[in-house]
Amino acid sequence: MFKHRHGLPLLAAFAIGFVAVGCAAPQTARADNLLIHRVQQEKGMNLPARGMSMAQVEQRYGAPQRKLSPRGGDSKRHPVINRWEYANFIVYFEHSHVVHSVLNTPAGNNTHPASAN
């Protein structure tokens, strides 16, 4: 019988791996459902649109509750990304234009977006 490098029979190692993947599948499916629900909810909301400038976002939505520290900017492949936090959403800017807006979630986890209010 073939042995795994740690002495475990190869078939047993495969079975353990298969069980571990099988156990993770229900959680992955649940996360996918939550993500789909969040995307559907975001479509129905009035969030800053891609391409809007920082000035346009601030004019339309008011001042953010918090302007987080910029990230990136160390190369052309990693442009400066700014993040503004509002009560119900976060806006991501590349340089000074919106690239994405997402609903806030409590503590940054992937809970149901309706509970993020």
Q: Which residue range forms the structural domain that includes residue 12?
A: 1-44
60-69, 84-93, 97-106 — which is least confidently predicted?
97-106
Kindly give, in sequence order, each residue whose CB lies less than 8 Å from that of residue 53, ignoring residues fewer than 6 positions away.
Answer: 96, 97, 98
Residue 60 and residue 110 in one domain: yes
User: Could you give the number of structural domains in the chain?
Assistant: 2
The token duo for 42 is 């975001």
pLDDT tens-place string over residues 25-48? 555 555 555 556 555 555 657 899
pLDDT tens-place string over residues 55-85? 999 999 999 999 999 999 899 889 999 999 9
111 or 48, higher pLDDT = 48
Residue type, 62: G
Q: What is the C-alpha to C-alpha distance for residues 107 and 98, in angstroms, rounded to an integer?
A: 23
Per residue, the 3-state secondary structure of the chain, as one string, reads CCECCCCCEHHHHHHHHHHHHHHHHHHHHHHHHHHHHHHHHHHCCCCCCCCCEHHHHHHHHCCCCEEEEEECCCECCECCEEEEECCCEEEEEECCEEEEEEECCHHHCCCCHHHHC
pLDDT average, residue stretch 102-106: 76
Residue 79 and residue 33 in one domain: no
State the pTM of this model. Answer: 0.58
Residue 51 and residue 36 in one domain: no
Number of residues written out for the chain:
117
Residue 63 and residue 113 in one domain: yes
Residue 26 and residue 59 in one domain: no
Asked if residue 113 has pLDDT above 70, the reply is: no
What region, left, alpha or beta, does residue 95 occupy, with left being phi > 0 and alpha being psi -120 to 50 degrees?
left
Residue 10 and residue 33 in one domain: yes
Asked if residue 110 has pLDDT above 50, the reply is: no
